[in-house]
Structure 1
Amino acid sequence: MISNFFSQSKPINFVAVSVFLLIIFAITKYMALDTQSDTLLIVKQVLLFGICLFSIFVFDFLVNKNNLTKNNSYKILLYVLFIAVLPEVLLNSKILLANLFILLALRRIISLRSKKDIKKKLFDAAFWITIASLLYFWAILFYILIVAALIVFIITDIKNWVIPIIGIATVAIIAVSYMIITNIEIYDFFDKLIDLSFDFSSLNSKRIIIGATVLLSFGAWSLFYYIKNLKSKTKSSRPSFSLIVIAAVLSLAIIIVSPNKSGSEFIFLFAPLAIIMTNYLEVVSEKWFKESLLWVLILTPIITLLL
């Protein structure tokens, strides 16, 4: 049974998830790329797969390091299953890279719980989010998560509130210097970068509608139990779990305001949603229900391919 196999955290689980991701990646790229293969294209796709795989490693590390779930592999399985349900996330290289930087930032933000190296962690978080926003502007909403972390972890020293601004300024100076050296028009760059839209017509495909409906339905159901069980968490860990909910809300906001809605913007939701659903799977006593939920996620991409 799948639920039993991933109920523990072992190297074989990560290998299985990696192979599954490779299959999804290969099928998606095969169906999407019309150009003939050449060395440059192959190298680019290998690098993109490496980014996806490294993102899962970073995600697994931040969850385990901060005890956001129990010792199992459900979170990385769910993360890859979400990609299978909405494979459009693999078709935008900039968003894939931006998501990796957001995961790196999230790792630093959640680790503020320890109250160690606060200034360094705040600088790193702002630094990574700023880089992500240069690749995909609306990743900028995750700055709100830094402010939320300062509040929920009761970090009151005014110096710590200034540190993120320094992180933002550092990236801005480097980016502007690079644009000047390479003769990139700064105004045009940001004019093209900053945009929003509330037009969802581009998401009007059976695969995206079915995939998004499955994810959001399971997510909403799991979120209800996740919030309900927050009271059972220790007082010291409760803020970390609250930040995951805020991250999920910010990810939904990005989906709503995204200027070019292709389905790829859903990737920012995968990490917080995987944590929320994993916490739900850990408290489900009925094994058949847990198994059924996982099988629905496995069968959904297969069904949508046949439509």
Structure 2
Amino acid sequence: MALFIALVFGLLTLDFVIKKNNLTGKNTFGILVFTLFIIQIPTIYTNPKIIGSTLFLILASRRLLSLKSEKNIEKKILDASIYIAIAGLFFPWCWLFFVVLYLSILWNTVLETRFLIIPFTGILAVFILKTTYHFINNDGFSWFFLPKSNSSFNFAAYNHLGILLTSILIGLFILWMGGVRLARIPALPKKERSSAWLIVISLITTILIATLSDVKTSAELLFPLFPLAIVSANFIEEKEGSGPIKPFDYWFKELLLWLLVGISVVLLVL
């Protein structure tokens, strides 16, 4: 039940992030895509670490996307660094998301040394809290010397037909919609480009996090879903202009949506 509540909270947070930062039009395509993919991956519901780390990455993204407002920059950077550090406690490869944090600082702020130092303060705060917890319950720093996660490329769990189908579908969405979005970023209004780049870099980073995970259960597919949902919504809602291609474009996107819905229903029933 707690994991379900965490997923719902993550879904609502993602919806807030999308609307607050105008990442898509006034629609729910992003939330729909995110929900339908979650339905297709039942292993997510038995993996609290991946759910927890993804939730904190979404919270971090919320703060990073709001940097462009140039208000309370120090607080937002600190919050984001704390969220990423906590996600790293759940799932060590989430530390890669600090790349997204620093790129966001470079794109959205007037570069100052203190902005680059603040993330280390967030990391230190989480380290102190974690160590304090272990001092009370165990023996202090021993947790720090425990073996950390390694990478594994054993994809045996993907031999299941449902998981294989979902992973192929996610891969196609990433290649097609991510590629289209990447190609069209230069044509976006200047004020929208930094957010668009941040989402694309987040997608690439979360793909790396999922790929480098130490155990492949298919639950790691949750990581790239939140940036992929936004990219997919951008693709679905985008108009190609007028002319003969417009009807084909409309029906192609309708087909993609219904295909995603159909696969989700079939896998849910099976």
TM-score by length of 2: 0.91
TM superposition outliers: structure 1 runs of 4+ over 3 Å: 184-190, 284-287, 301-307
**1:181 and 2:136 are equivalent in the alignment:** yes
**1:279 and 2:234 are equivalent in the alignment:** yes
- 1:75-116 CA-to-partner distances (Å, cap 9, x unmatched) read 111110110222322220121111111110000011111111
- Matched with 1:198 is 153
**1:161 and 2:107 are equivalent in the alignment:** no
Cα pair distance change 1:229/1:252, threshold 3 Å: same
- Matched with 1:96 is 51
- Matched with 2:36 is 81
Amino acid corresponding to residue 258 of structure 2 in structure 1: W
Percent identity reads 34
Structure 2: 5+ residue stretches without partners: 240-245
**1:288 and 2:243 are equivalent in the alignment:** no
Give the Cα separation in 2 of the matches to 1:291 and 1:190. Answer: 52
Q: Does structure 2 conserve the Cα–Cα contact (< 8 Å) formed by 1:137 and 1:193?
A: yes
Cα pair distance change 1:198/1:288, threshold 3 Å: same
Matches within 5 A, 1:1-307: 45=1, 47-183=2-138, 186-188=141-143, 191-284=146-239, 285=246, 286-304=249-267
Cα RMSD over matched residues? 1.8
Give the Cα separation in 1 of the matches to 2:199 and 2:116. Answer: 21
- How far has the Cα of 1:155 moved from its partner? 3.4
Structure 1: 5+ residue stretches without partners: 1-44
Give the Cα separation in 1 of the matches to 2:186 and 2:232. Answer: 17
Amino acid corresponding to residue 250 of structure 2 in structure 1: K
Cα pair distance change 1:69/1:181, threshold 3 Å: same
- Matched with 2:242 is none
- How far has the Cα of 1:301 moved from its partner? 3.2
Amino acid corresponding to residue 82 of structure 2 in structure 1: F
Give the Cα separation in 2 of the matches to 1:63 and 1:138. Answer: 25
